[in-house]
Structure 1
Amino acid sequence: MTAAKNAGRFALAACTALTLVIGIATSANAATGEFTYTDIDGEDHTLVDPPSGECISFGLPVTGADNETNASATVYENTDCSGPALDTLPPKTGMSWGSVLPNAVRFNFF
């Protein structure tokens, strides 16, 4: 009887720990804050709490951006984040571009 009771307690503790780990991992899949960018038509756009690790295409090339998130934002010339990165904007920084313009961004925690 005691062995069954201990096994039940262990199973409950293991499930609780797993739930906490999954919950923490899920909440860490997004940057917190806003990423605002201006496209070549002069339109401003804002990404709120963007997902981490996913490539986000801007739709149009971008002339400038402000990264007010808690993650680094790496920008790419290609719309699918392939090829070399153009620049990386650390958290709480901004940047403008001239002749080579970014078309996509990926957020990463370091």
Structure 2
Amino acid sequence: MNAFRSAGRLALAACAALALVTGVSAEGHAAAGNFTYTDTDGVPHTWADPPNGECISFGLPAVSADNETNATATVYENTDCSGAVLDRIPPKSDRVWGRYPNAVRFNFL
């Protein structure tokens, strides 16, 4: 009976370690591809391989965006990614807004 308990504990520990390693490694990846947005002055900006999970302020609010990355881009009302989520832009798609977001966060969903 002790052998079954030990094997069960060992399997549980191995699964927990795998989940921990997998979760940490996903945070460190960047979204592969370019994200281009146009600000309220009409100036286009392009980010290559933006970091996954970090809040990035646009500087000036964005009026449109083209998400050519492999991650979903979530755009926020406030510059620190707090407040209302204004939109989610799936990979390989674009948007034009009437209500201008101020920040974006990329996430693999």
- TM-score, length-normalised on structure 1? 0.75
Report the AA paired with residue 81 of structure 1: C
Residue in 2 that maps onto 1:78: 78
* RMSD between superposed Cα atoms in Å: 2.0
Share of identical aligned residues, percent? 66
- TM-score, length-normalised on structure 2? 0.75
Give unmatched runs, 5+ long, in structure 1: 1-20
- The CA distance in 2 between the partners of 1:104 and 1:78, in whole Å, is 6
Alpha carbons of structure 1 residues 26 and 59: separation in structure 2 relative to 1, 3 Å: same
Larger Rg: 1
Residue in 2 that maps onto 1:11: none
CA shift, 1:77, in A, is 1.0
Report the AA paired with residue 50 of structure 2: P
- The CA distance in 1 between the partners of 2:39 and 2:101, in whole Å, is 10
Work out the number of aligned pairs and report it: 89
- The CA distance in 1 between the partners of 2:58 and 2:38, in whole Å, is 10
CA shift, 1:44, in A, is 0.3
Deviations 1:63-85 (A, max 9, x none): 00000000000000100000121
CA shift, 1:28, in A, is 5.1
Residue in 1 that maps onto 2:43: 43
Structure 1 moving runs of 4+ over 4 Å: none
